[in-house]
Amino acid sequence: MKRILLVAALFSAAVSTSAFAQSLFETEVKARQGLMSIMRINMGMLNNMDRGLMEYDADQAQAMANAVLGISMVDFVGLFPEGSDSFEIETTKAADMIWENTEGFAAEWAKVQMAAPDLAKAAGQGKDAMSAALAGIAGTCRSCHTTYRLR
């Protein structure tokens, strides 16, 4: 009987810890995915202007680039606490590599932070200037996703 109670106690402890972890990291997962979605919207419009699918507009391009710059200032790496991986959380595409090589992951985000100010400087200065700066940041998305995001 004692043993059954102990097992029951351990089981409920395990269940409540994982439920706690789930609700704890839900905020971080939503935040990092939301941040990436906003990034995609802004980069997507700049890409469309670059490819001529949308007419280049200096004010609009500047606004998008400002948003990208703002996003780059967020501590993205801090939104990946230990345990917020795809084994623990169904909805995330964060690869284990993030925790195996956190420095490498941080270095990828630093590339965004290096490129975003150039984009913000150039975006309103004409289509060619915008396109050149856009190329500098577009590669950072792929570079990180290849290693640190699950397909």
Stretch of 12-20, 27-35, 57-65, 123-131 lying at the interface with ligand HEC (CB under 6 A): 27-35
116 makes contact with ligand HEC (CB under 6 A): no
131 makes contact with ligand HEC (CB under 6 A): no
Could you tell me how many helices (H) and strands (E) the chain has, helices first? 5, 0
16 makes contact with ligand HEC (CB under 6 A): no
Tell me the C-alpha distance between 133 and 124, whole Å: 11
Cβ atoms of 69 and 60 within 8 Å: the answer is no
92 makes contact with ligand HEC (CB under 6 A): yes
In whole angstroms, the minimum distance from the beta carbon of 40 to ligand HEC comes to: 4
Cβ atoms of 144 and 106 within 8 Å: the answer is no
Write the CA distances from 66 to 49, 70, 89, integer angstroms.
16, 6, 32
- The helix/strand/coil state of 134 is helix
What torsion do the CA atoms of 91, 95, 99, 102 make, to the nearest 10 degrees?
-120
31 versus 56: smaller Cβ distance to ligand HEC = 31
Stretch of 9-17, 54-62, 120-128, 143-151 lying at the interface with ligand HEC (CB under 6 A): 143-151
Can you tell me which of 46, 67, 108, 133 binds ligand HEC, judged by CB under 6 A?
Answer: 108
25 makes contact with ligand HEC (CB under 6 A): no
**Interacting residue ranges for ligand HEC, rule: CB under 6 A:** 29, 32-33, 36-37, 39-40, 43, 92-94, 105, 108-109, 112, 137, 140-141, 144-145, 148-149
